[in-house]
Amino acid sequence: MSQIDLGKLLGYTRVAVSKMERGITRLDISDLERIAAA
Q: By three-state DSSP, how is residue 7 classified?
A: helix
pTM: 0.42
Question: Per-residue pLDDT tens for 11-38?
Answer: 999 988 887 777 655 666 677 778 888 7
Residue type, 12: Y
Name every residue whose Cβ is closer than 8 Å to that of residue 38 and which is 6 or more positions away in sequence.
Answer: 8, 11, 12, 15
Q: What's the pLDDT at 5?
A: 92
Q: Which residue has the higher pLDDT, 1 or 10?
A: 10
Phi and psi, residue 2, nearest 5°: -80, 170
Q: What is the DSSP letter of 1?
A: -
